[in-house]
């Protein structure tokens, strides 16, 4: 039989077990805090410290001006003399209404669409073909890489001067074409000036995209090409079934970069035609310069910039979704 003393000792033991905290509960909070801090800082917190200067650069040079541009787009803002305090009332969507009702803005975005239709297919097709040919070259590969890349690193002012010399009324191209030369000439033709600018930008930036595709081609396993050869696949079939799927991520990147670059077109129409003839080569970036600097309407220019950013983001998301579906 259980004695009274045994019962008392058992009851004391149960009481001690209930009152004592479970093992490890006191250490849970520091562990959770440590995990939460590691989730925020990452596995290597020193990387945040090393990237802090560049992060500060991005914030100061990009995010702060972008935020100020958003603020200007919704206010009646204009330039004043230094030290002069002038109220800038909130106007809501008035600046955006002016932009939508302006025919020159619609024309500028239409020109940008023409540029994109010409530039994007040319960039992807030519860069991929040149990279494929360069990947098959055994000798002088470094020479060809540098040759493709030279226009990309050359100043636009210098290369545009050459193109003006080639495509003006008495230029080399018109002399070669003879009676087939367009009238009016290239730089004064409303229908040809934007495609001509698109061809120039394609030629200038082609070397950069060739190197991207070349890196993607070298990442495709050689065993896939050898297996296709064993199965009797010809060069075109290997290109279609092995090369194209292998460089699909690079193709998506090239399309994305081309779309972003399209929204930044400014130097080429500014130096070639100044936006003419009759606004045929006007772009949103160049129109922002004219509205904000020359006409003194930075609030309207900021509204154009916000619409441009939104359009580029939408096109980028659509291209990415299409690429993901194909993948």
Query: pLDDT by residue (tens digit) across 222-278?
Result: 888 778 887 777 778 888 888 888 888 899 999 999 999 999 999 999 999 888 888
Higher per-residue confidence, 235 vs 60:
60
Structure tokens at 113: 């669409």
d(CA 149, CA 204): 9
Q: 284 lies in a domain? A: yes
Q: Who contacts 133 (Cβ-Cβ below 8 Å, separation ≥6)?
A: none
Tell me what pLDDT residue 133 has.
87
Q: 56 lies in a domain? A: no
CB 199 within 8 A of CB 123: no
Tell me what pLDDT residue 15 has.
45
Q: 67 lies in a domain? A: no
Does residue 23 carry a pLDDT above 80?
no
Q: 270 lies in a domain? A: yes
Higher per-residue confidence, 76 vs 30:
76
| Domains contained in the chain, number | 1
Q: 259 lies in a domain? A: yes
- What percentage of the chain has pLDDT greater than the value 70? 87
d(CA 179, CA 259): 36
Q: 87 lies in a domain? A: no
Q: Who contacts 182 (Cβ-Cβ below 8 Å, separation ≥6)?
A: 189, 192
Tell me what pLDDT residue 271 has.
92
Structure tokens at 23: 């093992």
Q: 193 lies in a domain? A: yes
Does residue 11 carry a pLDDT above 50?
no
Number of Cα atoms under 13 Å in the Cβ half of residue 48? 9
Tell me what pLDDT residue 41 has.
65
Tell me what pLDDT residue 168 has.
85
Tell me what pLDDT residue 85 has.
80
Confidence class for position 5, pLDDT limits 50, 70, 90:
low
pTM for the complete prediction? 0.79
We report the CATH number of the domain holding residue 288 as 1.10.3720.10
Query: pLDDT by residue (tens digit) across 161-220?
Result: 999 989 888 888 888 888 888 888 888 889 999 999 999 999 999 999 999 999 888 888
Angle CA(299)–CA(300)–CA(301) in degrees, nearest 5? 90
Does residue 317 carry a pLDDT above 80?
yes
Higher per-residue confidence, 295 vs 28:
295
Q: 72 lies in a domain? A: no
Q: How far is CA 308 from the centre of its chain?
A: 13
d(CA 51, CA 37): 18
d(CA 273, CA 72): 29
d(CA 281, CA 196): 10
Tell me what pLDDT residue 125 has.
94
Please, what is the average pLDDT of the chain?
84
The residue behind tokens 């040759």 is 147
Tell me what pLDDT residue 17 has.
46
**Could you write out the DSSP letters of every residue in 89-113?**
-B-TTHHHHHHHH-HHHHHHHHHHH
Domain span holding position 130: 96-326
| Arithmetic mean of pLDDT, 278-285 | 92
């Amino acid at each position: 039989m259980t004695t009274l003393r045994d019962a008392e000792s058992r009851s004391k033991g149960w009481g001690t077990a209930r009152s004592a905290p479970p093992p490890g509960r006191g250490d849970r909070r520091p562990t959770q805090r440590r995990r939460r801090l590691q989730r925020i800082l990452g596995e290597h917190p020193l990387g945040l410290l090393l990237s802090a200067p560049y992060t500060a650069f991005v914030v100061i040079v990009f995010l702060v001006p972008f935020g100020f541009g958003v603020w200007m787009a919704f206010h009646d803002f204009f330039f004043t003399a230094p030290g002069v305090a002038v109220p800038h009332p909130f106007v809501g969507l008035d600046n955006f209404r002016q932009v939508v009702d302006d025919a020159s803005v619609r024309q500028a975005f239409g020109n940008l669409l023409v540029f994109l239709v010409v530039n994007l297919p040319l960039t992807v097709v030519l860069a991929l073909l040149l990279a494929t040919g360069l990947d098959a070259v055994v000798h002088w590969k470094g020479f060809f890489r540098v040759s493709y890349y030279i226009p990309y690193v050359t100043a636009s002012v210098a290369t545009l001067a050459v193109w003006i010399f080639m495509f003006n009324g008495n230029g080399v191209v018109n002399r070669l074409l003879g009676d087939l030369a367009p009238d009016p000439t290239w730089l004064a033709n409303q229908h040809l000036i934007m495609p001509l600018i698109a061809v120039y930008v394609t030629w200038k930036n082609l070397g950069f995209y060739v190197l991207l595709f070349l890196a993607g081609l070298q990442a495709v396993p050689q065993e896939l090409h050898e297996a296709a050869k064993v199965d009797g696949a010809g060069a075109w079939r290997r290109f279609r079934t092995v090369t194209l799927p292998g460089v699909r991520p690079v193709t998506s990147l090239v399309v994305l970069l081309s779309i972003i670059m399209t929204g930044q077109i400014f130097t080429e129409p500014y130096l070639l035609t100044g936006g003419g003839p009759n606004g045929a080569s006007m772009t949103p970036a160049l129109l922002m310069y004219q509205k904000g600097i020359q006409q003194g309407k930075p609030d309207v220019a900021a509204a154009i910039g916000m619409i441009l950013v939104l359009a580029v983001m939408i096109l980028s998301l659509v291209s990415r979704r299409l690429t993901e579906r194909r993948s």
